[in-house]
Structure 1
Amino acid sequence: MKKPYLIAIGFTLVLVLWMLSGLFVDANVEEKASIESDNRPLFTVEVEEMFAVKTPLYLKIQGQSDPNRMVEVRSQIDGLVNSIDVLEGSLLEQNVNMITLDIEDRRLQLAEQESLLKVRQNTNERLSKLATKQYQSENEIEQAKANIKASEAAIAQIKQAISFTNIATPFRGYLQKLHIEEGDFVRIGDVVATYIETDPLIVEIQISQQDIEKIKMGDLADIDLATGQVASGKVTYIAPKANDESRTFSVELTVENPDNRYKAGISAQVTLATNEVEAHYITPSLFSLNKSGAVGVKTVDALGVVKFHPIQLLQSDTGGSWVSGLPDKANVIVTGQGFVSEGTTVKVVKTTQANGTRSSLGVQ
Structure 2
Amino acid sequence: MSLLKQTIASILPPDNEAAWAADARLDSLTKPPGSLGYLEELVRRYAAIRHDESVKSGRGAIAVFVADHGVADEGVSAFPQAVTAEMLRNIAGGGAAISVLARRFGYALKVVDVGVKVDTSAKPLAGVTYRRIAAGTRNILDGPAMTPEQTTRALEAGIEIARELADGGATLIGIGEMGIANSTPAAALLCALTGIAPESIVGRGTGLDDAGVRRKTEVVARALEIHRAALTSGDSMLAALGGFEIAAMAGACLGGAASKVPVVVDGFIATAAAAVAAKIHPGIFDHLFFSHRSAEGGHARALDHFKLRPILDLDLRLGEGTGAALAMNVIESALDLLHNMATFAGAGVSGKVR
When the two structures are superposed, what TM-score results if normalisation uses the length of structure 1? 0.19
TM-score, scaled to structure 2: 0.19
- Normalized per residue, the structure richer in helix is 2
Larger radius of gyration: 1
The answer to which structure has the higher strand fraction is 1
